[in-house]
């Protein structure tokens, strides 16, 4: 979703090739030869084979700089990369663990483990709340940092994660969900 959001934000045409994840097509030799991690997305265009969504997104930003989804000043760009890293190291893992747990029958869910994941999120949210108190997006203008969070923020409702103690985070999540790129990618089976 994160790379498709960038493609949509930049109004770039692309073909989407679906990989059958449940049947582990991503672990077949042909796929491992293009992404040794055996994961989607992989972005392919003439002269470029790129994987890891954060790298795909930076590639697209460099190759198609308009509209800009990244600040140009080196310090602000470093801040954006730190936020992307924060998302991938502190936000995504507890959300994924909660998602897996939520798919198990109630009797098999470990409440202590779920509480640890929720605690981890509740350590992160105040940092985001502070940052969003005086601006609509993490760096002021919408950037790759925001869209790195958005698909996972979109799961909070479903996972029963209460954002109401963090009203600026909750408003930011709504703002991100209301961007046409997010909605098109969420509902789109193709493109
Ligand atoms: N760090 C990677 C994570 C990619 C990832 O986990 N992709 C999932 C789908 S959203 C996947 O391919 N899962 C299949 C698997 O791990 O076998 C990125 O941001 O591109």
CATH of residue 149's domain is 1.20.1050.10
d(CA 71, CA 76): 6
Of 70, 75, 46, nearest to 57 by C-alpha is 70
Q: Is the same domain home to 57 and 150?
A: no
- Residue range(s) defining the domain that contains residue 46: 2-68
Q: What's the pLDDT at 187?
A: 77
Residue 189 located in a structural domain: no
Residue 170 located in a structural domain: yes
Of all protein residues, whose CA lies closest to atom 2 belonging to ligand 1?
Answer: 52
Of all protein residues, whose CA lies closest to atom 13 belonging to ligand 1?
Answer: 39
Ligand 1 pocket at CB < 6 A: 21, 26, 38-41, 52-54
Q: What's the pLDDT at 189?
A: 45
Residue 135 in tokens: 């601006």
Residue 134 located in a structural domain: yes
Q: Is the same domain home to 172 and 146?
A: yes
d(CA 5, CA 3): 5
Dist. CA 51 → ligand 1 center (Å): 10
Using an 8 Å Cβ cutoff, are 144 and 84 in contact? yes
Rg, the chain, Cα only: 17
The residues with which 48 forms a beta bridge, in sequence order, are 45
Last residue of a domain, one of 41, 68, 95: 68
Residue 191 located in a structural domain: no
Q: What's the pLDDT at 91?
A: 97
Of 42, 75, 74, 79, nearest to 59 by C-alpha is 42
Q: Is the same domain home to 25 and 59?
A: yes
Q: What's the pLDDT at 40?
A: 97
Of all protein residues, whose CA lies closest to atom 12 belonging to ligand 1?
Answer: 39
Q: Cis link prior to 41 (omega < 30° from 0)? A: yes
Dist. CA 40 → ligand 1 center (Å): 5
Dist. CA 39 → ligand 1 center (Å): 4
d(CA 146, CA 176): 8
C-alpha distances out from residue 59 to 41, 70, 96, 124, Å? 13, 12, 26, 28
One pLDDT digit (tens) per residue for the chain, 191 residues: 999 999 999 999 999 999 999 999 999 999 999 999 999 999 999 989 999 999 999 999 999 999 999 999 999 999 999 999 999 999 999 999 999 999 999 899 899 999 999 999 999 999 999 999 999 999 999 999 999 999 999 999 989 999 999 999 999 999 999 999 999 998 764 44
Counting atoms of ligand 1 from 1, which one is nearest the CA of 54? Answer: 19
Q: Is the same domain home to 52 and 121?
A: no
Q: Is the same domain home to 82 and 157?
A: yes
Q: Is the same domain home to 19 and 58?
A: yes
Of all protein residues, whose CA lies closest to atom 16 belonging to ligand 1?
Answer: 39
Q: Is the same domain home to 113 and 171?
A: yes
Q: Is the same domain home to 28 and 86?
A: no
Alpha carbons within 13 A on the beta-carbon side of 42: 17
* Number of domains forming the structure of the chain: 2
Of all protein residues, whose CA lies closest to atom 11 belonging to ligand 1?
Answer: 39
Q: What's the pLDDT at 6?
A: 98
Q: Is the same domain home to 36 and 95?
A: no
Q: Is the same domain home to 93 and 146?
A: yes
Q: Is the same domain home to 57 and 93?
A: no
d(CA 106, CA 110): 9
């Amino acid at each position: 979703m994160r790379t498709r959001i960038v493609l949509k934000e930049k109004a770039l045409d692309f073909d989407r090739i679906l990989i059958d994840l449940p049947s582990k097509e991503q672990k077949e030799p042909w796929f491992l030869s293009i992404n040794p991690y055996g994961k989607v997305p992989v972005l392919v265009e003439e002269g470029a084979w790129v994987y890891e969504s954060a790298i795909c997104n930076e590639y697209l930003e460099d190759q198609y700089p308009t509209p800009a989804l990244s600040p140009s000043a080196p310090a602000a760009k470093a801040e954006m990369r730190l936020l992307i890293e924060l998302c991938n190291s502190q936000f995504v893992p507890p959300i994924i663990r909660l998602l897996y747990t939520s798919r198990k029958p109630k009797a098999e869910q470990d409440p202590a483990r779920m509480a640890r994941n929720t605690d981890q999120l509740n350590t992160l949210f105040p940092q985001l709340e502070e940052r969003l108190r005086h601006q609509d997006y993490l760096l002021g203008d919408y950037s790759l940092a925001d869209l790195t969070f958005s698909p996972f923020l979109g799961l909070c409702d479903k996972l029963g994660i209460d954002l109401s103690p963090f009203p600026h985070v909750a408003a930011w999540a709504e703002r991100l969900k209301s961007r046409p790129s997010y909605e098109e990618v969420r509902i789109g089976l193709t493109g």
